[in-house]
Amino acid sequence: MRILIPDTRVEDAAQAMVVAAYSMLDSYTSTEALTEAQDAARAAHDRFIEASAAYFKPSPQAMRDLARLLGSGAEQLR
């Protein structure tokens, strides 16, 4: 899997998410095993989203610059 985000935390989380998703294929032997694999895949997905959001979260200075560019209406962005 290729991720176009140059951050190792995001890349690692993406890889873990894919591995967890594929592990569900091997967990069809019982309902309990499949449920555990699904829970692990959901958790891996959540970690990927959190890592991605942290990467893209703008700095406070970037938010101030944006507010200055957009004028007073940008205060609603905060």
pTM of the model: 0.70
Does 10 score more than 90 pLDDT? yes
Q: What pLDDT score does 2 carry? A: 65
What the block records as the tokens of 41 is 């895949």
Give me the residue spans of the domains in the chain. Answer: 8-77
Environment class of 39 (CB within 10 Å of its CB; exposed 0-12, middle 13-18, buried 19+) = exposed
Residue 60 CB: number of other CB atoms within 10 A?
8
Confidence of residue 71 (pLDDT cuts 50, 70, 90): confident
H or E segment to which residue 52 belongs: helix 31-56
Q: What pLDDT score does 67 carry? A: 79
What the block records as the tokens of 4 is 């176009």
